[in-house]
Structure 1
Amino acid sequence: MAVEAIQKVTQVEAEADRRKEEAMAESKQKLLVAQRAAQRLLADSRTEAENEARQMLVQTEEEAAKATQKVLEQAKLDCEQWKRTARTRLDQAARTIVEKVVNR
């Protein structure tokens, strides 16, 4: 019976070692799968962030172009107004110059 008990203990120990090795192999496999998933997630996140940054840049450039166009349009209107004002004063300026030249 002692031999049977020793054999039984040896079998149980061998089975425990086998299960331990299986558990370690399974853990390594799960870790590898998790690492690969994390790398894919990181790559996807980077790609998504780059796409969002590109979209934000395009949107910002469009907004800047619109703002620039508004400023240019306003400057053009202001310039036209100054030209109209100058034209109305042109006759008076010419008369004043003629008076000063003639009265010398």
Structure 2
Amino acid sequence: MSLEAIEKVTEVETKNRERKAAAEAEARQLVADAEREGLALLQQVRADAVEEGRKLLRQAEERAAERSAKIAGTAEAEAQALRAAAGQHMSEAAEFIVGRVVKH
């Protein structure tokens, strides 16, 4: 083989090694970029999930407070009705008790 052919083969091999090294470096950079972007996206999704959870919890607490207020209002109305009914029968009950005590 002539010296010129050997030099040409050596040059081609060197260029191939350089291209291969450049391609490997680019591939490593692509993987690193993808990992970094994936982690950033994962963190964002987690933060969004936390915020959504807080939002749902606030909504549930608001609904619970409204329901509690409605139940308390109903209970107060029923208690008032019972007090009114008891008040109407108070004089009858007092007369009955006095009648029982006097008779015995």
Runs of 4 or more, structure 1, over 6 Å off, are none
**One-letter amino acid of the structure 1 residue matched with residue 101 of structure 2:** V
CA distance in 2, matches of 1:101, 1:36: 90
Q: Percent identity?
A: 37
Residue 39 of structure 1: aligned partner: 39
**One-letter amino acid of the structure 2 residue matched with residue 48 of structure 1:** D
Residue 66 of structure 2: aligned partner: 66
CA distance in 2, matches of 1:98, 1:60: 54
Query: Structure 2: 5+ residue runs without aligned partners?
Result: none
Compute the TM-score of the two structures, normalised by the length of structure 2. 0.93
Per-residue Cα deviation, 1:64-96 (whole angstroms, up to 9, x for no partner): 111111111111011001101111111110111
Compute the TM-score of the two structures, normalised by the length of structure 1. 0.93
CA distance in 1, matches of 2:61, 2:93: 46
Per-residue Cα deviation, 1:17-57 (whole angstroms, up to 9, x for no partner): 00000001111111111111111111111111111011111
What is the root-mean-square deviation of aligned Cα atoms in Å?
1.2
**One-letter amino acid of the structure 1 residue matched with residue 82 of structure 2:** W
Structure-to-structure mapping, 1:1-104, within 5 angstroms: 2-104=2-104
**One-letter amino acid of the structure 2 residue matched with residue 46 of structure 1:** R
State the aligned residue count.
104
CA distance in 2, matches of 1:29, 1:62: 49
CA distance in 2, matches of 1:67, 1:6: 90
